[in-house]
Amino acid sequence: MTDEYKETVAFVTNLRSELNFALADLQLAIIMRDNLADEVDRLRARVAELEETNQWIPVEERLPEGRVEFVVHDRVCIGYHVPSVPQWTDEKGFYFHGNYYKNVTHWRPLPEPPK
């Protein structure tokens, strides 16, 4: 074997090794990209879920049902409704803790308490 042939074999062997490392890096990058895409999809779904459940609900759309606690908005301030505390309501609003909330436009359920 000539020196030129030995150098060529060494070059090709080294090149093959470098290509194998590059291929392994590429495969890892593809796996990471796929995992990241899955995580992004999961997070987008969670954001959509939170946006859906944490929106102010117009009173024209629907009213709270049952004896639940909720927050109301009357274009001026935000009030907190607790069904176990005495209060009264009329067609324009309600009286609660010394405040009269009239022209209530929106409400929303309270979030779950911390665990």
Per-residue pLDDT of the chain (115 residues; tens, 9 = 90+): 788 888 888 888 889 999 999 999 999 999 999 999 999 999 999 999 888 877 888 878 887 777 677 777 766 666 656 665 555 555 556 655 556 666 777 888 887 778 8
Residues 6+ apart with CB under 8 A from 103: 74, 75, 92, 93
CA separation, residue 20 to residues 13, 26, 79, 93, 99 (Å): 11, 10, 65, 73, 73
Determine the structural domain holding residue 2 and report its residue range. 1-54
Residues 37 and 83 in one domain: no
Q: What is the pLDDT of residue 16?
A: 93
Residues 90 and 43 in one domain: no
Q: Model pTM? A: 0.46
Give the pLDDT confidence score for residue 35 in this predicted structure: 92
Task: Quote the number of domains for the chain.
Answer: 2
Q: Cβ distance 73 to 81 under 8 Å?
A: no
CB 106 within 8 A of CB 60: no
Q: Is 81 a member of any domain?
A: yes
Ramachandran class of 98: left when φ > 0, alpha when ψ lies in -120 to 50, beta otherwise: left
Task: Tell me the three state secondary structure of residue 98.
Answer: coil
Considering the domain architecture, whether residues 47 and 34 belong to the same structural domain is answered as yes
Residue at 93: amino acid letter: G
Q: Please check whether residues 21 and 38 belong to one and the same domain.
A: yes
Domain check: are 96 and 63 in the same one? yes
115 part of a folded domain = no
- pLDDT confidence of residue 54: 79
Structure tokens at 46: 């969670």
Same domain, 47 and 84: no
